[in-house]
């Protein structure tokens, strides 16, 4: 993260990179193996701050503070989010008191369970180039995907 810019690298077999640039109203999903990317515009930014998360979820259910926990060395407020549609289950969110961002999320409910956790967090300066499209990548499109 740098300001409102966010870069997420996910490894599940292959590595995928998502760069969110609210200042350009764009999200790029990069496939390093194929040196390709998808571009999505007009969809806003991915919520990362506690305020962004609360605003994004306010119409979908109720969020309550349920305690504090230390996650990966960061003291966090733990929230339970219960959807108005009970079939969606409950989501638990751990918001770092220091960083003011969600560093863990667990969803329990139908049709699946999901967990996301940021690990190996390093507080250091990062170059602006991490939030730009790398040279040599080709833009691809998926019919019907909002561009």
Token couple for 38: 């998808």
Q: Where are the domains of the chain?
A: 6-120+131-139
pTM for the predicted model, two decimal places: 0.67
Among the listed residues 63, 59, 61, 58, the one whose alpha carbon sits nearest the alpha carbon of residue 84: 61
CATH class of 6-120+131-139: mainly beta
Quick one: three-class SS letters along 9-69? Answer: EEEECEEEEEEEEHHHCEEEEEECCCCEEEEEECCCCCCCEHHHHHHHHCCCEEEEEEEEE
pLDDT of residue 53: 67
Q: What is the pLDDT of residues 34-83, one digit of tens each?
A: 999 999 887 655 555 666 666 767 778 888 999 999 999 999 999 999 88
């Amino acid at each position: 993260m740098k300001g409102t810019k966010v870069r997420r690298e996910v490894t599940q077999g292959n590595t995928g990179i998502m760069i969110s640039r609210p200042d350009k109203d764009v999200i790029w999903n990069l496939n390093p193996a194929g040196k390709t990317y998808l571009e999505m515009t007009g969809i806003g930014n991915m919520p990362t701050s506690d305020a962004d998360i609360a605003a994004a979820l306010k119409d979908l259910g109720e969020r309550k503070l349920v305690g504090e926990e230390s996650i990966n060395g960061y003291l966090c407020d733990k929230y339970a989010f219960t959807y108005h549609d009970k079939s969606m289950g409950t989501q638990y969110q751990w918001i770092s008191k220091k960083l003011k961002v969600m560093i863990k999320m667990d969803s329990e409910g139908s049709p699946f369970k999901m967990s996301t956790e940021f690990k190996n967090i390093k507080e250091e300066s990062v170059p602006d180039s991490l939030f730009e499209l790398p040279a040599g990548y080709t833009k691809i499109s998926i019919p019907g995907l909002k561009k």
